[in-house]
Amino acid sequence: MKLYEYNAKSVFKKEGIPIPEGYVARNSTEAREIAEKMGIPVAIKSQVMVGGRGKAGGIKFANTPHETFESAEILFSASINGEDVKYLLVEEKADIKKEFYISVAVDRSIGKPLIMASKEGGVDIEKLAEENPEKIIKYHVNPQEDFLVYEGREIARKMGVGSSLISPVGGIIWKLFQVFKKYDAHLAEINPLIITENGLIAADAKLDLDDDSIYRHHKMKDFGEYEEHEFAFVKLDGDIAVIGNGAGLTLTGMDMIKLNGGNPATFLDIGGGASEDVIKKALNLVIDFSPVKVIFLNVLGGITRADDVARGVIKALEETDRKVPLVIRLTGTNEAEGQRLLTEAGVSFETSMEKAAKKAVELRNSF
C-alpha cells in the first residue's frame, strides 16, 4: 500500500519528523484559496504514485494566488508518467540551504532493514549509487535488537554532515526508522531532507506499507487511497511485464522469459477465476508502468475462463492510449471461444507457453 506524499507527511508529522506547512487541493480554486490563506510563495506538487515527478513537470512554484491557480490548472490536466493528477499538495516554498537523502527499506538478500543515507539529496539515488556509490552510507539493522539514537548519530557522522548537524540529522534517521518499524513499511524515505532557516524539514516523503499488515493499521484505510487488490503485483527491474493466473504459472512464465534472454518487469498474479474486469485492470496496470516494453500474458484456463480473458484483453487495448506489444498464451476452459474473440479483434495468440515467451523476448529485442 503506497501513500500519497501528503498522507506520508501526515504520518511523519505525527511521529515527530518536521514537514513544511501545506494543504491538499482537489481543484484549482482550492489551490488558489490555500495560497491566499498562506500568503507566501508556494510549491504546487502533483500527488501521484509514480517516480520522476519533478522531471515530468509535476512540481511548480508560484508567488501569488493567481499564479497558483494557473499552475494548478496545468497540473490537474496533466498526466505524470502515465498517471492522472487527482490531488495537489500546496505547501510553503522552502528556502533550501542543503539537501540530504535518507531511507529505510528491507534488504531481502539478507533479511534485514537497510538504512541508506547520503549528504547529496534531491537527486536520482539509483544514479548516484551507480556513479558514486561511495557517497551513500549503508547500515543494516539487526531486527532482533532496538535501533538506538546513537546509531542514527553515527550514520549522520559517516555522512559527513558537520558536527552541528550530527545530532539533529541522527535524530531524524532514528525517527524515520521508528516509522518504518511501527507501520510495517517496505519503504520509508525522505528525499530531500532539507536544511532551512527553521532547521531540518522533510521536503518530500514516501511511505510504502506491507499490504498484509493493514489489519494492524486500520486508520490507514481512512486516507481513501487504499484498495483491496484483486491480484498480487510486484515491480521488477526488467522491461517485459509477466502476467499469469496463479503464482506458480506466473513464476514459470518469468523463468521462460529469463531462459530466452529477457528480463521480467513485473510479477502479476491475477489468481484463479479472474473476471473480465480483473484482466482489464491488470493489463492497464502494467501498460501504465513506464519501463514495460512488451507484455507476456500467460493464462492456462481452469476456473479462469479463456473467453473472459479475451474480452478483458480487448477492452484494455481499446481503452489505452499507450500501445505496448502484447503476447498471449491462452488455453484451457472455453479456449475455442476465447481464441475466436482474439482472432476477430486482430489480436494474435499462442497455445504454447514456450513459444509465447520466446516471441515476447524477440519482440523486445527488435526495438
At 216-255, the pLDDT tens digits run: 876 776 664 544 555 778 889 899 999 999 889 999 999 9
Give the model's pLDDT for residue 219. 72
**pLDDT for 271 beyond 90:** no
Here the CATH number for the domain that contains residue 136 is 3.30.470.20
For the ranges 80-94, 132-146, 166-180, the maximum mean pLDDT occurs at 166-180
Q: Kindly give, in sequence order, each residue whose CB lies less than 8 Å from that of residue 222, ignoring residues fewer than 6 positions away.
A: none
Does residue 3 form part of some domain?
no
Co-location of 282 and 337 in the same domain: yes
**Domain boundary residue among 197, 223, 249?**
223
Give the model's pLDDT for residue 229. 54
Q: Is the peptide bond before 192 cis (omega within 30 degrees of 0)?
A: yes
- Calculate what percentage of the chain has a pLDDT beyond 90: 68
Co-location of 337 and 243 in the same domain: yes
Co-location of 141 and 46 in the same domain: no
Give the model's pLDDT for residue 226. 46
CA nearest 132: which of 140, 120, 150? 120
Does residue 140 form part of some domain?
yes
Give the model's pLDDT for residue 221. 62
Domain span including residue 328:
232-365
Co-location of 359 and 255 in the same domain: yes
Does residue 16 form part of some domain?
no
Does residue 361 form part of some domain?
yes
Secondary structure of residue 206 in the 3-state scheme: strand
Does residue 4 form part of some domain?
no
Co-location of 201 and 127 in the same domain: yes
Does residue 14 form part of some domain?
no
Here the CATH number for the domain that contains residue 243 is 3.40.50.261
Does residue 148 form part of some domain?
yes
Give the model's pLDDT for residue 256. 97
Give the model's pLDDT for residue 6. 95
Co-location of 135 and 50 in the same domain: no
Kindly list the distances between the CA atom of residue 69 and the CA atoms of 5, 11, 64, in Å, as whole numbers in the listed order.
Answer: 21, 28, 9
With 0-12 / 13-18 / 19 or more C-beta atoms within 10 angstroms meaning exposed / middle / buried, residue 211 is: middle
**Domain boundary residue among 223, 253, 287?**
223
**Domain boundary residue among 45, 74, 92?**
92
Co-location of 130 and 76 in the same domain: no
Q: Structurally, how many domains does the chain consist of?
A: 3
Q: What is the mean pLDDT of the chain?
A: 91
Instruction: Please indicate whether residue 130 or residue 159 has the higher confidence score (pLDDT).
Output: 159
Co-location of 240 and 341 in the same domain: yes
Specify the range with the lowest mean pLDDT, choosing from 66-80, 88-102, 135-149, 269-283.
Answer: 269-283
For 19-38, the DSSP string reads ---EEEESSHHHHHHHHHHH
Instruction: Please indicate whether residue 88 or residue 315 has the higher confidence score (pLDDT).
Output: 88
Contact criterion met (CB below 8 Å) for 333 and 304: yes
Co-location of 170 and 285 in the same domain: no
Separation of alpha carbons 105 and 209, rounded Å: 11
Range 60-85 average pLDDT: 93
Residues recognised as catalytic? 101, 189
Co-location of 71 and 146 in the same domain: no
Separation of alpha carbons 82 and 317, rounded Å: 15
Does residue 6 form part of some domain?
no
For 41-90, the DSSP string reads -EEEEE--SSS-TTTTT-EEEESSHHHHHHHHHHHHT-EETTEE---EEE
Here the CATH number for the domain that contains residue 71 is 3.30.1490.20
Indicate the pTM of the whole model. 0.67
Co-location of 161 and 42 in the same domain: no
Co-location of 315 and 257 in the same domain: yes
**pLDDT for 143 beyond 80:** yes
Kindly report, residue by residue over 92-136, the tens digit of the pLDDT. 999 999 999 999 999 988 989 999 999 988 767 778 878 888 899
Q: Which residue has the cell 539514537?
A: 149
Q: How large is the angle between the packed helices 306-319 and 335-344, nearest 10 degrees?
A: 20
